[in-house]
């Protein structure tokens, strides 16, 4: 690939005040551990050799979900053009885990970062064909201007961090 898609993704996220980190699979668990604020909940990461830190609770109770400060989830793919991550509604709770806590840590494989919205729609269509028909394109942090000024973190997370697994 001649264009640096992850670089473009990173620049788009910078504009949204979202930090991106590139890590290898071997280092991922440790990096995630330093980023999460506890208590943390998460959906299992489907990347070979990458697991959630021990302190991140999977299959949380509703009380744990409500109390959590951080939610860690994998994302199906990301769209570099807009700094968007695609969160799939899976049975292990990725949707509520990415939504309820104030901090969302999104983990994506480098090979799943696509350049633009059109490429994103191609991936979306592939997912639909495979039965993954509920997806959220999340771009940056939850925001509102309804109270007179721009404020982040309303019903959704107020901070978002993105981890790109470089060797995937």
Partner 1 sequence: MAQRTRSQQADRIRHLLETEGDAIHAQTSASNARRGDVYDVTDDLEALRTDARAIKEDAIDDLPELIETVREAVEANGGTVYVADDAADANAYVADVVEQNGSTDAADEPSVVKSKSMTTEEIDLNDALEADGIDVTETDLGEWVLQVADDTPSHIVGPAMHLSRAEIADLFNERFDPDEPFETAEELTRFARDHLGEIITDADVGITGANFVVADSGTITLVTNEGNARKCAVTPDTHVAIAGVEKLIPTLSDLEPFVDLIAKSATGQPISQYVTMLTPPTDSPTLEFDSPDEPITAGGGGGAAGPIGDPDREFHLVLLDNGRMDMREDDQLRETLYCIRCGACSNSCANFQSVGGHGFGGETYSGGIATGWEAGVHGQDSAAEFNDLCTGCTNCVDACPVKIDIPWINTVVRDRVNRSDEPEAYDFLVDGLTPDAESGGLDPGKRFFGNIGTVAKAASATAPVSNWLADAGPVRAALERTLGIDRRRDLPTFRRESLVDWFEKRGGFAASSRRAAQADSRDDGADVDREVVCYPDVYTNYVDTERGKAAVRALEALGVPVRVPDLPESGRAALSQGMIATADRQASRVYAALAEDLDAGRDVVVIEPSDLAAMHREYERLLPESSYERLREGSYEICEYVYGLLENGADPSALSTGDGAEPVAYHSHCQQRTLDLEAQTVAVLERCGYAPVTSDAECCGMAGSFGYKREYYELSMDVGERLAGQLEGADTVVASGTSCGDQLETLLERDVPHPIELLAPGRYRA
**Residues near partner 1 (CB under 8 A):** 59-63, 65-66, 82, 84, 89-96, 99, 117-118, 121, 124-125, 128, 131, 133-151, 153-157
Supply the minimum distance, in Å, between the C-beta of residue 9 and partner 1. Answer: 13
CA-nearest of 55, 44, 50, 43 to 23 is 50
| Closer residue to partner 1, CB minimum distance, 77 or 82 | 82
Residue 115 and residue 79: Cα distance in Å, rounded?
6
| Closer residue to partner 1, CB minimum distance, 57 or 165 | 57
Check if the beta carbon of residue 95 is closer than 8 Å to that of residue 89.
Answer: yes
Structure tokens at 38: 């506890």
Check if the beta carbon of residue 103 is closer than 8 Å to that of residue 37.
Answer: yes
Check if the beta carbon of residue 159 is closer than 8 Å to that of residue 141.
Answer: yes
Supply the minimum distance, in Å, between the C-beta of residue 29 and partner 1. Answer: 21
**Strand 84-88 and strand 151-152: pairing?**
unpaired
Supply the minimum distance, in Å, between the C-beta of residue 58 and partner 1. Answer: 8
Supply the minimum distance, in Å, between the C-beta of residue 168 and partner 1. Answer: 23
| Closer residue to partner 1, CB minimum distance, 115 or 153 | 153
| Closer residue to partner 1, CB minimum distance, 2 or 62 | 62
């Amino acid at each position: 690939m001649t264009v640096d898609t992850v670089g473009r993704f990173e620049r788009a996220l910078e504009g949204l005040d979202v930090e991106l980190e590139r890590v290898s699979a071997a280092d991922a668990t440790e990096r995630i551990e330093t980023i999460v604020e506890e208590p943390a909940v998460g959906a299992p990461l489907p990347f070979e050799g990458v697991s959630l830190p021990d302190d991140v609770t999977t299959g949380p109770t509703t009380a744990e979900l409500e109390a959590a400060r951080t939610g860690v989830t994998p994302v199906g793919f990301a769209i570099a053009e807009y700094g968007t991550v695609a969160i799939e509604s899976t049975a292990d709770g990725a949707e509520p885990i990415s939504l309820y806590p104030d901090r969302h840590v999104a983990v994506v494989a480098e090979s799943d970062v696509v350049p633009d919205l059109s490429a994103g729609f191609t991936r979306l269509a592939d997912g639909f064909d495979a039965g993954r028909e509920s997806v959220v394109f999340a771009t940056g942090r939850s925001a509102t201007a309804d109270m007179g000024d721009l404020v982040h973190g309303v019903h959704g997370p107020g901070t978002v961090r993105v981890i790109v697994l470089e060797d995937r």
